Amino acid sequence: MKNDEGQQSSQSIHHIVYCSQAVQHMDQDALEKIIATAKHHNPRFGITGLLVFGSGIFFQWLEGPKDNVTSLFKIISDDHRHTDVVLITKEDEFRERLFPNWDMELVAAEDISAVLEDAMHEASDPKRKSTLSNMLQELKKRSLGN
């Protein structure tokens, strides 16, 4: 499955959002290792998204073809580096990707609201806008992005 290489068009896209708890202290090296693995595998499966880490909590957005996202989520859920994986959203939508150029981007918790607000302002697709707005609300509820 090929990444769409930034060519944006509405398509049926599956996304999963979850949060989880790191089992041990995650330093920059440990985080970069996860991101390197993700950047290595995700493009082959047409998966894009972002990973937020702050205060020992992971928050990840995965989007792409349903089967691939579902399989990856299962692999990630079994990863011993985190626990208490809680699924927040699992949905199919007909819209553009939210983060078409991000195989997997690490975003600091304090920057996530700004990243999402920027993406929301740039979005031309109304569904993309409203998905981003819902995501911002989820973050605010969990006080992750403040």
145: left (phi over 0), alpha (psi -120 to 50) or beta: alpha
CB of 101 to ligand FMN, least distance (A): 15
Answer whether 15's CB lies under 8 Å from 63's CB.
yes
How many other C-beta atoms are found inside a 10 Å radius of the C-beta of residue 81? Answer: 15
What's the closest the beta carbon of residue 121 comes to ligand FMN, in angstroms?
26
Is 81 a residue that touches ligand FMN (CB under 6 A)?
yes
Q: Based on CB atoms, which residue is closest to ligand FMN, 57 or 136?
A: 57
Site for ligand FMN in 106-145 (CB under 6 A): none
The two tokens of residue 136 are 């911002």
- Among 76, 98, 123, 139, which residue sits at the site for ligand FMN (rule: CB under 6 A)? 76
Task: Report the distance separating Cα 106 and Cα 84, nearest Å.
Answer: 20
Return the SS3 of 93: strand
Site for ligand FMN contains 105 (CB under 6 A): no
β-pairing, 82-95 with 48-54?
A: unpaired
Q: Which of 42, 48, 68, 131 binds ligand FMN (CB under 6 A)?
A: 42
Does 52 participate in binding ligand FMN (rule CB under 6 A)? no
Total chain residues near ligand FMN (CB under 6 A): 15
